[in-house]
Structures are given as structure tokens and as C-alpha cells.
């Protein structure tokens, strides 16, 4: 718990108004940051002495109707402190673009491709931003809430 408090204070002190809100949810510290500061914050966290050297997950949530619509969530983990931290960052529907962190963590490459595939969020500076799961020619982004539930896009002609 003391790590939660400490890292919140460090981030607020370092990034000031770029940190929008801090809270503790389900035992983990959750830090909401500005979109343009996300790469900077994560780089700062990765370096020593913070040492959040492991990116556990990078994903996206679609909050249809809210502004901003999308929220990118980064889960980072410190092996030396045995501590998890969650960084969130809102992305608007009109300009679904955010800085890539694939330069910091190699595994972010495919995680970002997955988010691009499912939600259509572009990552600036990503070395190879292609669809990961769906095939070429697939239209739309299937995990967006406004993707039609029964829409099918077969790759080959179906029988009957």
C-alpha cells in the first residue's frame, strides 16, 4: 500500500497538471494522465529508481457516449518492488491517435497491433501497424460498441 501512495506522489510532483486524477481501485494505484504525456510518463516509470520494467498488458475500453470515448489502459509491474500500477489515458473518437510505446517495451508492438485491430486506434511511431487477428479486407473494428452484433464478413464464399 505504501508503494501506491508513494508512486502517486512522485508522479504528481514530476508531471503536475499532466496527471489528471489518481485513485486506488481494487488494491492498485490508478493514474489518469494526459494523452500527450503518456509516453513520457511510462518512460519515467520504466527507468530506475521507479523500475516498472514490465508491461503486463496494454488494452483499450470503449465507453460509448462518454467523452473521450476510448480509454487506453497500461498495466505496468515492478519486479523489484513487486508492485502493480495502472496508467489510463483517454482518446477521443474524432482523433483516435496516441503515441506508441513499442520503443520502450518490445511486447507493446503486438499489443498495440491488437488494439488497432479491435478498436481502430492508431499508434504514432509504431514500426508495423497492421491488423493482428482479423484478415486483410476486414472492414470496421469489431470490439467497438457500434460494430453490428450479427455482421459477418466471410473470407470465402459460404455454401447454400
Partner 1 sequence: MGKIRPIKKYSYYQKTSHGGFIATKPNYAIGWGRKYSIFHYPFITACCGMEYMSAACAHWDFDRFGVGMTTFSPRQSDLLFVVGTITHKEAPVLKTVYEQMVEPKWVIACGACAVSGGIYDNYAVVQGIDKIIPVDVYIPGCPPRPETILNALLKLQDKIQHQKQDLRWNIIKK
How many whole angstroms separate alpha carbon 36 and alpha carbon 136?
A: 30
Which residue lies nearer to partner 1 by CB, 125 or 140?
A: 140
Footprint of partner 1 on residues 21-80 (CB under 8 A)?
A: none
**SS3 state at 32:** strand
Q: Is 154 in the site for partner 1 (CB under 8 A)?
A: yes
Tell me whether residue 99 or residue 117 sits nearer to partner 1 (CB atom).
117
Q: Which of 38, 81, 76 is closest to 56 using CA atoms?
A: 76
Applying CB under 8 A, among 67, 106, 130, 152 the residue interacting with partner 1 is 152
For the record, the C-alpha cell of 89 comes out as: 489515458
Task: CB nearer to partner 1: give 60 or 98.
Answer: 60
Show the cell assigned to 126: 509504431
CB 135 to partner 1: min, Å: 5
Region at 140 (left for phi over 0; alpha for psi -120 to 50; beta for the rest): left
Q: How far is the CB of 117 from partner 1 (least distance, A)?
A: 11
Amino acid at each position: 500500500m505504501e508503494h501506491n501512495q508513494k508512486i502517486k506522489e512522485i508522479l504528481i510532483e514530476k508531471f503536475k497538471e499532466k496527471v489528471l486524477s489518481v485513485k486506488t481501485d481494487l488494491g492498485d494505484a490508478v493514474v489518469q494522465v494526459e494523452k500527450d504525456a503518456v509516453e513520457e510518463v511510462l518512460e519515467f516509470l520504466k527507468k530506475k529508481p521507479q523500475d516498472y520494467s514490465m508491461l503486463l498488458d496494454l488494452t483499450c475500453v470503449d465507453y460509448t457516449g462518454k467523452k473521450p470515448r476510448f480509454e487506453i489502459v497500461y498495466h505496468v509491474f515492478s519486479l523489484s518492488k513487486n508492485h502493480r500500477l495502472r496508467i489510463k489515458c483517454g482518446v477521443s473518437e474524432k482523433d483516435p491517435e496516441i503515441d506508441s510505446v513499442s520503443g520502450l517495451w518490445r511486447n507493446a508492438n503486438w499489443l498495440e497491433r491488437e488494439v488497432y485491430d479491435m478498436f481502430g486506434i492508431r499508434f504514432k511511431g509504431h514500426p508495423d501497424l497492421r491488423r493482428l487477428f482479423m484478415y486483410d479486407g476486414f472492414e470496421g473494428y469489431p470490439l467497438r460498441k457500434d460494430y453490428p452484433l450479427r455482421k459477418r464478413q466471410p473470407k470465402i464464399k459460404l455454401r447454400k
